[in-house]
Structure 1
Amino acid sequence: MRTLCTLALITLFSALASTTQAASFDCSKAAKPVERMICDTGNLSTLDEQLAGAYKAMMKAASPATGTDTSELLKSSQQRWLRTTRDACKTVQCLENAYVGRIAFLVQWNEDAPANSKIDGKLDGNYEFSHDMEFANGTHSTVQDCLNIKSTGNAQAQVKTILVQSNGHNCSLNGKFALAGNVYSYLPGKGENDIQNCQIKLTVKQHQLVLSATGEGCSSHCGARASFANGASFLRTDKAKRACVAD
């Protein structure tokens, strides 16, 4: 059903295409060859408008009910797509394919992965998300949140994550998670590094992994200026070569 809905939306976007020049940007200021191609081709111009609308809608809905804000991840993904996919096209057909594929991606952004998709083991590996950090002294630096998943059998996995938050403070966890459907849930042990009174979940969505947490222990475990309560998100395609390593 989800696939049929996505295909229907793509068909609708294509059907709306016309010769009207309706690019989402000012064509009088188009500098890149790919931008001029979009402005000169009615179908591409309309697809660009449709993609801009889909992106705006997803950015608005990028904070799910858990409170975890995924807008920075989506923004980073969109900028990368523009740079490495759209701007790399040399033909109208290439751009049409790129736009239709990206619109489908955006439509699915907040959709959960199917609960029966047998994700156990398929997500094993390392993930990173780079983001800008402003420190108390006014300086900026690019930092990386990281996530490592390793299945251990019986629908469980060892999950390690290090989140870099306010002023560079880290919040880290290395513990067992149980998988049910498309959600990994933290199983706190009794060790000093286990987080108590904090319900942590890793939700597997169509294109992202969303780490969220609730409970009073989520804010106290990492000390000042860092908390699992803030959540985190990772693009499923952002695989890294190395596992999480503390600085």
Structure 2
Amino acid sequence: MKKLALATVSILGTCLLSTYANSASFDCNKAATWVEKTVCDSPELSKLDDAMAKKYKINLGAAPDYEDSKAFKDRFIANQRTWLTFQRNTCKSEECLIREYKEYIEEQSNYGVAWNFSDELSPSDLPSKSAFGKFSQTSQISIYNSGTQRWEDTGEAKNTVSIHSVANKPYLSIIDGVLIFTNAHTCDLGESKAIWSENHWVVNDDQPDKTAELRFYPALYKGKTQLLLRDMDDQYRRLHCGMRGYFDGTVLKREVD
């Protein structure tokens, strides 16, 4: 009887030491943020988080074995940090987290994620004031010189995106901007209507044979509100900017906080 009692105590002790029954890629007993606690509380999210971590580790270990491999790994780690900051950690619902994890793991977009009943959103569901404004980034422009067969720096250019509020409709915005790329190729975003979708603005341009979706994720990063651009499946720039315009993953800083 004593042995049985000791075994029972041991099992109970183990259960008490582990608050969460689900397994994630991190120690759930040290979960501090809402996102971490939600991941640990949900069996589905715990499995997705573990799958995300495994994929990240495999891809990081598959860095090319040459002299720039360190630079490759540094960029890969920075991209992971960007995904966590702007996409995963800005979610406020399980549905949002599931979408972000699945898109990361499956490397395919889940379209149509905008709110269906925007007029019924609560204040906590709406974008904050920092999700509006002018965002910009200064970048170096290079042009290929066919004579010397080299890329030559031609100076700096300022990429800008402005997100304007719409009166009496806080879930809507008008987004415009101009982005400049390699070979001084310019992409004008025009004036596009955007809908707030849990943690980002989304601009949809559905075509008969494809979906072009451009997302704008605002987040506090390094003490300043910044904006991540995500060109889902690389379709928006193909449709509007040509093959030379590439801006997926671009991060712009809000000019006035």
Q: The TM-score by the shorter chain falls in which range?
A: 0.3 to 0.5
How high is the TM-score relative to the length of structure 1? 0.47
Computing the radius of gyration from Cα coordinates, the structure with the larger value is 2
How high is the TM-score relative to the length of structure 2? 0.46
Higher RCO (Cα < 8 Å, 6 or more apart) = 1
